[in-house]
């Protein structure tokens, strides 16, 4: 299976334009071993506090306990995206400065979700560029065991940035193969409750086994619109209870 190289993206205020990559370049058949990402304990330090948030964004919580999700950020729900209603499914507040909430559509579940929205908020003086650099370091680390391809899209007018990422792997047992497309949007925000920090709004879509090829075919034609929608979705107001 072979895909064309990622397009080069330019994010303007109102739209995203994609300039197609060269046909002569190597294909990007993304292969990564089948695995279930488990929740990890993070050591959160003063400077890399954003790193903890972004790492958590890639190492999904997967609701490993039966405790009801807590709306730590006071985000009104459900979150509606592409006419789908995402309900709060799992949340975590592992550190005084870090908040994480994951949303799924009805009928979806962990660990084999198909579509998920993640909202992270980290209280920190770090910039969007700091957050993006941390995420890119994480993705580079993943390349040691996975094939990963990504594109950074910047909006100079707002200071926001998006990372568009695709990764996947075929397994010997095709039913265990996974492909995943993630769109990470980073924005500096001030919560209604006064805290300043970085908000991450992330959309993750997955396909398994026989559904992978149709998933990738749709992605080739729908990626541009999907990124544009993530770029324009209203960022939820955050209220942290003190």
Percentage of the chain exceeding pLDDT 70: 72
**Phi, psi (rounded to 5 degrees) for 222:** -105, -10
Q: Torsion angle of alpha carbons 118, 120, 126, 131, nearest 10°? A: -20
Contact by Cβ (8 Å): 205, 181: yes
Give the pLDDT of residue 66.
Answer: 67
Contact by Cβ (8 Å): 81, 203: yes
Contacts of residue 200, defined as CB under 8 A and 6 or more positions apart, other chains included, come to 53, 54, 57, 118, 119, 120, 121, 131, 184, 185, 186
Give the pLDDT of residue 176.
Answer: 84
pLDDT at position 44 over 50: no
Measured CA to CA, the distance from residue 51 to residue 141 in angstroms comes to 13
Give the pLDDT of residue 206.
Answer: 95
Q: Between 13 and 238, name the one with better pLDDT.
A: 238
Q: Between 88 and 7, name the one with better pLDDT.
A: 88
Percentage of the chain exceeding pLDDT 90: 61
Angle at Cα 60 formed by Cα 112 and Cα 33, nearest 5°?
60
**Phi, psi (rounded to 5 degrees) for 10:** -125, 125
Residue-wise pLDDT for 2-11, tens only, equals 333 333 333 3
How would residue 71 be classed by pLDDT, with cut points 50, 70 and 90? very high
Average pLDDT, the chain: 77
Q: Among 15-19, 144-148, 159-163, 237-241, which stretch is predicted with the lowest mean pLDDT?
A: 15-19
Distance of CA 58 to the CA centre of its chain: 7
Give the pLDDT of residue 7.
Answer: 32
Q: Among 19-33, 113-127, 176-190, which stretch is predicted with the lowest mean pLDDT?
A: 19-33
């Amino acid at each position: 299976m072979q895909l064309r190289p990622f397009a080069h993206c330019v994010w303007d205020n109102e739209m995203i334009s994609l300039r197609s990559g060269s046909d002569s370049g190597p294909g990007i058949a993304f292969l990564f071993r089948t695995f279930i990402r488990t929740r990890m304990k993070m050591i959160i330090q003063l400077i890399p506090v954003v790193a903890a948030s972004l790492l958590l964004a890639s190492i999904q919580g997967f609701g490993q306990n039966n405790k009801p999700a807590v709306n730590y950020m006071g985000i009104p729900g459900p979150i509606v995206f592409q006419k789908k209603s995402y309900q709060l499914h799992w949340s975590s507040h592992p550190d005084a400065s870090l908040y994480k909430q994951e949303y799924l559509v009805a009928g979806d579940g962990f660990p084999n979700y198909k579509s998920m929205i993640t909202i992270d908020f980290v209280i920190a003086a770090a910039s969007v560029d700091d957050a993006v650099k941390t995420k890119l370091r994480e993705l580079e680390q993943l390349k040691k065991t996975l094939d990963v391809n990504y594109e950074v899209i910047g909006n100079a007018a707002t200071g926001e940035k998006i990372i568009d990422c695709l990764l996947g792997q075929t397994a010997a047992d095709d039913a265990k193969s996974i492909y995943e497309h993630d769109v990470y949007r980073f924005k500096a925000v001030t919560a209604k409750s006064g805290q300043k920090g970085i908000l991450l709004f992330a959309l993750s879509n997955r396909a398994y086994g026989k559904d992978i090829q149709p998933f990738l075919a749709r992605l080739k034609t729908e990626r541009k619109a999907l990124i544009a929608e993530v770029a324009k979705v209203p960022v939820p107001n955050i209220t942290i209870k003190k």
